[in-house]
Structure 1
Amino acid sequence: MESVQFCDIPESGIDRALSLAYLVFHETPEEEKRKHHHDLLRDCTRIGAYENGELVGFVAAFPFTVSVPGGELPCPCLTFVSVAPTHRRRGVLSGMIAELFARAAADGSPIAALWASEDAIYGRFGFGPATYGHTVEIDSRRPLALRITPDDRPLRLIDPTDAPALLAEYYDRTRTERAGRIARGEAWWREEWLVTEDQEDDELSPPRVVVLGAPEGPVAGYAIYRTKTRDDAPGLVRLDELEADTPAAEAALWRYLASIDLTGLIRAWGRPVDDPLHLFAADRDQVRVTGEFPALWLRLIDVRAALTARSWAAPVDTVLDVRDDRLPANAGRHRLTASPDGCTYESTERPADLTVEARDLAAAYLGGTRIDALVRAGLATELTPGTAAALDAALHTARLPHTVDEF
């Protein structure tokens, strides 16, 4: 790898980088999609791997902010990770990610994140699956059976061009209630959530936005969805996002989606694992979870900074022996002393109470993976009985972390 150099890709090199990415991912996008990608990458960190002036690797990172328990942190989010097929297994990917980690640390970003195209790749770089999503299907050929009474406030369809101004404040407020959620600027709303033609399925309608609450009152919830007619089956409602203040408000939105004329199936991708729909649906044959998948993968670039930045639900005083081959500054024994009042994390010579790899600590960081589950799976070792239970109580969050913004 000595002949490979890692440096910024200038804006003039974006098209070349995209060509490499399309080669790697076997894509031939239309001009509109390519322009969309080009526009996104202008605002990203872009790291290239060059050999003799030829681009042989490419990684970009969105400068996102992600909610964590009790606050939020800057978080470079990796995308377009690509290595030329002629240069696989030559350290190109390792070099690019090491360069990105170094820049994140210099910029004061203690975490990084990605969506994994191949799960097997990213664990070795210290990423762990920190949020999970459900795919849910609802048979809406009959009225949606519910165990609770839906909110009776009015529902109204709004023009998608007006949605960012109306929904952004609501989204920002609700974003703090779950860890793992990305702050959205107006451009992200328009270019990712409300683009007229769906990038994956051009048979889907433009986005529809339904809001719960009178125009003169506060927003109590919203749903973004698209519809599609099907020759061999009832029409489809594809739900992209649904947010609500209360179970009754959520029930009102689900009931609306299930009552759209000429449709018979709702397919919702990326719903929270602890979605209250699973409990208030009266017929679980009608509302089915058809899949579960890891969503946001997290990397603790600076374990001390990450742990001291989040809130803690209960007191814990323990010594962690963290294993981290990629970022040795994180490795070793550290005393974690945390409570709802704050947290310290300092090197210590005391014996360890728990040994854990950085990737598994990252998976537990947002509250979505239990330490005792890691111990039972043989991925962490509890040396002092009760340590895992104490850590789980301290890491607990009222709602499971959730991410639906894919990048």
Structure 2
Amino acid sequence: MVDIQDVPEADIDRALELAYLVFHDRPEKEARARHHALLVRCLRIGAYDGDALVGFMAAHDFRLSVPGADLPCPGLTFVCVAPTHRRRGVLTGLMTEMLERAAATGSPLAALWASEAAIYGRFGYGGATTGVTIEIDSTRPLALRIDPDRRPLRLVDPEEALAVIGPFHESARARRAGRPTRSAPRWREEWLTEEDEEDEELSPPRIIVLGEPGEPIAGYVLYRTKPEDGGGPARAPQGLVRVDELEADTPAVAAALWECLAALDLTGRVRAWGRPADDPLLHFAADRDQVRVTAQYPALWLRLVDVRAALTARSWAAPVDVVLEVHDVRLPGNTGRFRLDAGPDGAAYEPAEAAADLALDVRELAACYLGGTRVAELVEAGLVREHTPGAAAALDAALRTPVLPHTGDEF
């Protein structure tokens, strides 16, 4: 029997050692210090077997952009259970405590990135956003179908970057669902660190912005580079450009930033991890042999802690009137039959006696909530039962967003 309780600041180093054991990690001193500082700012819950810390979970104090709103959403991180205590209910105890606390504090959502995708569905989390990795062959100029924005590009010192690109990032976050808030410490410790935690060969961060001097910027790119051997008889250097983030307020601005990245001297490959599946580059690139999607994966996993609060807080693209039969084994208050009457003017979600039009688990509802997964696809997959023909299509039309939900913030 383990006790689930708060982890005091004095036990943070113990929690980190447990996480490093579970994730087979041995970070350097500087990275350990960043992890410690991060956990000081987080909610921390532990599982104790006597005096031994055998399970741990932390949560960032995030808000998440959803269609038409910005909602409290703890971001779970450092989830781990000691190898000596697996399959003994430790993770279930931690998850239950975290969900109950989220509900008690009025957070209608919770989110995480899954190290193992098979784990979190049973706790009601659904894959709500999709990320892709894009690679550009930059041994030749980037071929484009549109004209890039020709306003000036300029480098920004990383020490000054937050003041320049932070406000633009916040406005971009509001335009696309699924994006958590980013505090100044997170900017400094996760995006603008001198050394990259995962690859010490990478350069410090470089930031290029587009816009007339003295005017608000129209976009930016944050990237790092590293040398790579080009191979072949001459063994010409063809380094890698790793794009960590690119934001633009028009396709022409994005085109200018991608063009700049592809033209960097002594490089031959641009790799952008964590791009949205509907990235405009995939359409305005003139040669899709030069610009390729090399990976696609579930990104943000979302949990509806309070289904009613979550559904009535977001905006809706079209009218819908359906009865949902929702099942939630972890938070029974979400379970039942409810009428969703929603549209551009708002939404109501109340208990219903009528027969269900759609029956689904809270996991599937979470996957569809941001508009990144179609209900009709889950009907076809046998995961949602459609009792009234056309109900899935009507709910999809109401959930639809102008752009797909997406986040590149792995936490």
TM-score tier after normalising by the smaller chain length? over 0.9
Write the distance in 2 (CA, Å) between the matches of 1:338 and 1:167. 36
Query: Amino acid of the residue matched to residue 393 of structure 1?
Result: A
Write the distance in 1 (CA, Å) between the matches of 2:362 and 2:217. 40
The structural deviation recorded for 1:349 is 1.1
Q: Equivalent residue for 1:348?
A: 352
Query: Amino acid of the residue matched to residue 33 of structure 1?
Result: A
Q: Equivalent residue for 2:154?
A: 156
More displaced 10-residue stretch of structure 1: 213-222 or 197-206: 213-222
Q: Equivalent residue for 1:251?
A: 255
The structural deviation recorded for 1:358 is 0.5
Q: Equivalent residue for 1:378?
A: 382
The structural deviation recorded for 1:232 is 4.4
Q: Equivalent residue for 2:310?
A: 306
Write the distance in 2 (CA, Å) between the matches of 1:181 and 1:215. 29
Helix, strand or coil: the match of 1:230? coil
Write the distance in 2 (CA, Å) between the matches of 1:215 and 1:323. 55
Query: Amino acid of the residue matched to residue 15 of structure 1?
Result: D
Write the distance in 2 (CA, Å) between the matches of 1:383 and 1:145. 49
Query: Amino acid of the residue matched to residue 381 of structure 2?
Result: A
The structural deviation recorded for 1:134 is 0.6
Helix, strand or coil: the match of 1:120? coil
Write the distance in 1 (CA, Å) between the matches of 2:372 and 2:98. 25
Helix, strand or coil: the match of 2:74? strand
Write the distance in 1 (CA, Å) between the matches of 2:82 and 2:108. 29
Write the distance in 1 (CA, Å) between the matches of 2:37 and 2:213. 34
The structural deviation recorded for 1:186 is 1.3
CA contact (8 A) 2:112 2:301 kept: yes
Does residue 104 of structure 1 match 2:108?
no
Q: Equivalent residue for 2:125?
A: 127
Q: Equivalent residue for 1:117?
A: 115
Query: Amino acid of the residue matched to residue 272 of structure 1?
Result: P
Out of 336, 339, 348, the residue aligned to residue 340 of structure 2 is 336
Write the distance in 2 (CA, Å) between the matches of 1:290 and 1:134. 7
For residues 170-206 of structure 1, give each alpha carbon's deviation from its aligned partner in whole angstroms, at most 9, with x where no partner exists.
Answer: 1111111100011112111111110000000000000
Gaps of 5+ in 2: 232-237
Out of 48, 52, 66, the residue aligned to residue 50 of structure 1 is 48
Q: What TM-score, normalized to structure 1?
A: 0.99
RMSD between superposed Cα atoms in Å: 0.7
CA contact (8 A) 2:230 2:239 kept: no
Does residue 290 of structure 1 match 2:315?
no
Write the distance in 2 (CA, Å) between the matches of 1:143 and 1:290. 20
More displaced 10-residue stretch of structure 1: 85-94 or 168-177: 168-177
The structural deviation recorded for 1:231 is 2.8
Gaps of 5+ in 1: none
Write the distance in 2 (CA, Å) between the matches of 1:104 and 1:326. 13
Q: Equivalent residue for 1:82?
A: 80
Q: Equivalent residue for 2:225?
A: 227
Q: How does 1:53-64 map to 2 (within 5 A)?
A: 53-64=51-62
Q: Equivalent residue for 2:395?
A: 391
Does residue 198 of structure 1 match 2:196?
yes
Write the distance in 2 (CA, Å) between the matches of 1:19 and 1:174. 36
Write the distance in 1 (CA, Å) between the matches of 2:144 and 2:282. 10
Q: What TM-score, normalized to structure 2?
A: 0.98
* Aligned-pair identity (%): 66
Write the distance in 1 (CA, Å) between the matches of 2:215 and 2:26. 46
> How many residues are matched?
405
Does residue 15 of structure 1 match 2:13?
yes
Q: How does 1:271-282 map to 2 (within 5 A)?
A: 271-282=275-286
Out of 368, 374, 379, the residue aligned to residue 364 of structure 1 is 368
Helix, strand or coil: the match of 1:181? coil
Helix, strand or coil: the match of 2:175? coil
Query: Amino acid of the residue matched to residue 166 of structure 1?
Result: V
The structural deviation recorded for 1:218 is 1.5
Helix, strand or coil: the match of 1:329? helix
The structural deviation recorded for 1:215 is 2.1
For residues 42-93 of structure 1, give each alpha carbon's deviation from its aligned partner in whole angstroms, at most 9, with x where no partner exists.
Answer: 0100000011121110000001111000011010111000101111001000
